[in-house]
Amino acid sequence: MQTAKDSQTASLVEVVNQAKKVLDLNSIENLVIPAQGLYPHRVLWDSCFAAIGLSHYDVKKAQLQIDSYLKTQWSNGMIPHIIFNPLPKYWWDRHIWRSKISPLSKRSIATSGITQPPMFAEAIVRIGNKLTDIERHKWYEQKLDNLIAYHRWLYAERNPEKTGLITLIHPWETGLDNTPPWLASLRHHHAPWWINMITWLKIDKVADKIRFDARYVDPSERSTTYEALRLYDALRKIRKKKYDSTKIMPNSTFAIEDIAYNSIFIRANSLLKEIAASINQKLPEDLLSNIAMSEASFNKLWDSEDKKYFSRNQKYGNFLKEDSIGSLLPLYSGIISDSRAKELLQRIKSKSDFNTTYPLPSVPISSPWFKPRRYWQGPSWININWLIIDGLKRYGFEKEALELSNKSVLLVKDKGFYEYFNPLSGEPAGVVNFSWTAALIIDLINQTHPELGD
Ligand code: GLC
């Protein structure tokens, strides 16, 4: 007779099988894109998350995601946030960026010219955990120089105050494109005349109807056309400077010490140290002292007035007090004190803050910015849950981590592998068959049910 436990196990196996199909569906010559249709190009943190999921059942394919992504690393160490699909029909996407204008780019591969959250070290370690000792040693040896070069680039070019806090120059670099602190910062700047003209003539309303993303998702869930044009304009300015951070930074539209990015970077630094130590390699002195400085400076992102972590404007030093899920990511950094971690956990448990039926909302529900279906302004995202679960576990909040993991798995099991979800109703939104949702659900199920895996 089948017990309740057997049938629960069977249904989890089924979810994992479906998730694997999603990753297959999104594979082009074994390389995983975020989703067919809307996202035909490879994307930095998406590729790392895909590799983490793949590591459970196809470690070679997981390694391939990382290896081939790192081949696009620029000669200064920068790793671009998009690798463009080479098909002729994507000429325009490649042309918008024209990465070749930078002498530092890889001539043969069209990429963007900005970066995204540094998830490589995490993916490399997760893959390493699946290898034999000898294989792992080789794998780490091969990847160490790429990681060192990337982290060094961040310190050399995105660390203008020399505090070790990394400054981002475009909202796309956060991965949380239209998150409130960045949107607020965008609204602070005057729009160029041509965007004002488009808005005045109401051409943006017409554009709403013919937007590329509107073919796949409801445009009311995404950035507005006005915002998208502003982001494009910011990109144009960066492109004019040939993606050279030293030229961009002094007059950058955006210069933000982003709390989400810096939390992930702090964790990436710790993992980098672990990788080097496990193969008896010494990290360069300059890097080690920068890493120590980042850890010492992280507290600058704590606002003792509101008792919250916030992103900070690098030029003026003011906090961007629009609340967002980024304020919880210091849990993932692993370097905050136990008492701070507890305070963040309280926010996760508070009904007026981040405690929704289908957690975690990307903006607290009490925020005036909260919109349950709008991209990074409210919906729950599986990658963020995954990062928070990992952080909670490392602080010993096992019960809460398990609860969040179970809720994430159940949500996806019931609703499908969507890009994001309404945190109040669980209603799915964005594109379906989204790679990181599938990959990270495989990982979460493997963490809670190791007997099913590998
Ligand atoms: C959106 C997300 C970004 C992600 C990309 C591809 O732009 O905001 O984080 O990397 O889609 O999935």
User: Ligand 1, atom 9: nearest CA belongs to which residue?
Assistant: 175
CA–centroid distance, 280 to ligand 1, in Å, is 36
Beta-strand (E) ranges in 68-107?
82-83
pLDDT at 50: 99
Phi, psi of 107 (to 5 degrees): -60, -35
Q: Which amino acid appears at position 342 of this protein?
A: K
Which ligand 1 atom lies nearest to the CA of residue 174? 9
Task: Find out whether the beta carbon of 46 lies less than 6 Å from any atom of ligand 1.
Answer: yes
Closest CA to 8 of 406, 438, 436, 447: 406
Supply 141's token pair. 């040896």
Residue 309's φ and ψ, nearest 5 degrees, are -85, 135
Q: Is 15 left (phi over 0), alpha (psi -120 to 50) or beta?
A: alpha
DSSP for 134-187?
Answer: HHHHHHHHHHHHHHHHHHHHHHHHS-TTSSSPPEESSGGGTS-TT-HHHHHHHH
Name the residue of 39, 44, 258 to mutate for ligand 1: max ligand atoms within 8 A of Cβ: 39
Nearest Cα to Cα of residue 359 among 346, 340, 334, 378: 378
Tell me, using a 6 A CB cutoff, whether residue 117 lines ligand 1: no
Ligand 1 atom with minimal separation from the 434 CA: 12
Distance 398 CA to ligand 1 centre (A): 29
Helix (H) or strand (E) holding 421: strand 420-421
Q: Which residue's entry shows tokens 């030093």?
A: 317
Angle, in degrees to the nearest 10, between helices 382-394 and 435-448? 30
Ligand 1 close to Cβ of residue 39 (< 6 A): yes
Which neighbouring-strand residues pair with 27?
32
Of ligand 1's atoms, which has the minimum distance to the CA of residue 176? 8
Nearest Cα neighbor of 410 from 453, 376, 448 is 448
Q: Hey, which bits of 216-342 come out as E strands? A: 256-257, 302-303, 308-309, 311-313, 319-320
- CB neighbours (10 Å) of residue 397? 21
Does ligand 1 lie within 6 Å of residue 84's CB atom?
Answer: no
Q: Relative to the CA of 375, which ligand 1 atom is closest?
A: 8
Alpha-carbon distance of 2 to 452, in angstroms, equals: 17
- Decide yes or no: CATH 2.40.37.10 for domain 34-417+431-440: no
* pLDDT at residue number 189: 79
In the block, residue with structure tokens 């400077």: 241
Is ligand 1 within 6 A of the CB of residue 369? no
pTM over 0.95: yes
H or E element in which residue 31 lies:
strand 31-32
CA 376 to ligand 1 center in whole angstroms: 10
d(CA 124, CA 223): 32
Centre of ligand 1 from the C-alpha of residue 98, in Å: 20
Structure confidence at residue 195 (pLDDT):
76
**Concatenated DSSP letters for 360-374?**
PBSS-TTSTT--TTS
Mutational pocket test of ligand 1: of 41, 44, 46, the residue with most ligand atoms within 8 Å of the beta carbon: 46
Helix-then-strand count for the chain, H and E: 18, 12
Give residue 210's pLDDT: 59
| CB 45 near ligand 1, within 6 Å | yes
CB of 434 closer than 6 A to ligand 1?
no
Q: What is the pLDDT of residue 5?
A: 81
Per-residue pLDDT 10s for the chain (454 aa) are 678 888 888 899 999 999 999 999 999 999 999 999 999 999 999 999 999 999 999 999 999 999 999 999 999 999 999 999 999 999 999 999 999 999 999 999 999 999 999 999 999 999 999 999 999 999 999 999 999 999 999 999 999 999 999 999 999 999 999 999 999 999 887 788 877 777 777 776 666 665 678 788 888 888 888 888 888 999 999 999 999 999 999 989 899 999 999 999 999 999 999 999 999 999 999 999 999 999 999 999 999 999 999 999 999 999 999 999 999 999 999 999 999 999 999 999 999 999 999 999 999 999 999 999 999 999 999 999 999 999 999 999 999 999 999 999 999 999 999 999 999 999 999 999 999 999 999 999 999 998 886 6
Indicate the domain borders of the chain: 34-417+431-440
The angle formed by the CA atoms of residues 124, 129 and 133, to the nearest 5 degrees, is 105
Residue 2 CA to ligand 1 center (angstroms) comes to 41
Instruction: Give me 78's structure tokens.
Output: 């920068």
411 C-alpha to ligand 1 centroid (Å)? 20
